[in-house]
């Protein structure tokens, strides 16, 4: 299974108010393993960046003056995500911006759903942890994913953190999720419930013969009893 963890940074919060994408970061996961393949582009939005947004990601309009426009990287991005499943935290936000950009360039297929499936990890986290904070920062702390190197938000680093959080949330990569186990190293009920269960696997049970049972009993009788 191929999944692409995606994040964007933007000039502001609402595309209908003319805000644009300025950074795209994607991390590839195949069969629940990080492959090392990534897609990362800075994008010239051809407009100013809101002060509040710039404080979050630290990217100025001057930083983007010589970067390509979205229309120049769109085909490369769509090729990278095509046929996979996008894993996005608060997918409505990022998908909304991506579709807005595709419509601005009059792309013949502006809906992201025509290129890839979409999994919203914010919705998943709210199901798993109702009533708790489920921001990416909160999930990193909950699943012991080290975010100490991130001083500002960035599309690629946030995509990488989300990839590790997602694997921990869904029952893989236990090393990233120390908090998801109890003191005895046993996965919590909540984590176990989130793990995908294979229904297509048939187990073969081979029983021991009478001779094998007798040999096993003979070995047990020869073993010393602890404490004697």
Residues spanned by the domain of 14? 2-194
Which of 19, 57, 153, 216 is catalytic? The answer is 153
Q: Answer whether residue 208 is part of any domain.
A: no
The yes-or-no verdict on residue 88 having pLDDT over 70 is yes
pLDDT digits (tens, 9 = 90+) for 4-33: 999 999 999 999 999 999 999 999 999 999
pLDDT of 101-142, one tens digit each? 999 999 999 999 999 999 999 999 999 999 999 999 999 999
Residue 21: which CATH number?
Answer: 3.30.420.10
pLDDT of residue 103: 98
Q: pLDDT confidence of 149, banded at 50, 70, 90?
A: confident
CA angle 68, 74, 80 (to 5 degrees): 120
For residue 206, being part of any structural domain is answered with no
For residue 58, is it within any domain? yes
190 vs 147 pLDDT, higher one? 147
Q: Would you say 137 and 158 are in contact if contact means Cβ atoms under 8 Å apart?
A: no
Structural domain count, the chain: 1
Q: What is the pLDDT of residue 152?
A: 80
**In the predicted structure, residue 41 carries a pLDDT above the cut 50:** yes
For residue 59, give the nearest of 109, 20, 16, 101 by alpha carbon: 20
Q: What are phi and psi of 14, to 5 degrees?
A: -125, 115
153 in active site: yes
Considering the domain boundaries, does residue 220 fall inside one? Answer: no
Please check whether residue 108 lies inside any domain of the structure: yes
Q: Is residue 93 part of a domain?
A: yes
Binning pLDDT at 50, 70 and 90, where does residue 227 land? very low
Is the predicted pLDDT of residue 159 greater than 50, yes or no?
yes
On average, the pLDDT of the chain sits at 83
Q: Kindly state whether residue 210 falls inside one of the protein's structural domains.
A: no
The β-bridge partners of 39 are 26
Per-residue pLDDT tens for 163-218?
999 999 998 543 333 333 333 333 333 333 333 433 343 333 344 556 655 655 55
What pTM was estimated for this model as a whole?
Answer: 0.74
Do the domain assignments include residue 23? Answer: yes
């Amino acid at each position: 299974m191929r999944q692409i963890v995606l994040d964007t940074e933007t000039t502001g919060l609402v595309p209908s108010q003319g805000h644009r994408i300025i950074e795209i970061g994607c991390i590839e996961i195949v069969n629940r393993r990080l492959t090392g393949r990534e897609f990362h582009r800075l994008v010239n939005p051809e407009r100013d960046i809101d002060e509040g947004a710039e404080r979050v990601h630290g990217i100025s309009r001057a930083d983007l003056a010589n970067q390509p426009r979205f229309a120049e990287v769109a085909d490369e991005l769509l090729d990278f995500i095509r046929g996979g499943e996008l894993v996005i935290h608060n997918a409505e936000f990022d998908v909304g911006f991506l579709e807005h950009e595709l419509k601005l360039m009059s792309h013949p297929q502006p809906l992201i759903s025509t290129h890839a499936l979409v999994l919203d990890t914010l919705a998943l986290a709210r199901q798993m942890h109702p009533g708790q904070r489920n921001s990416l920062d909160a999930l990193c702390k909950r699943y012991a994913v080290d975010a100490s190197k991130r001083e500002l938000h960035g599309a690629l680093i946030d995509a990488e953190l989300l990839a590790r959080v997602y694997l921990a949330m869904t029952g893989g990569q236990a090393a990233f999720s120390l908090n998801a186990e109890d003191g005895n190293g046993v996965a919590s009920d909540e984590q176990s419930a989130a793990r995908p269960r294979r229904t297509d696997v048939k187990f073969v049970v081979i029983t021991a013969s009478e001779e094998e049972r007798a040999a096993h009993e003979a070995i047990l009788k020869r073993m010393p009893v602890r404490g004697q």
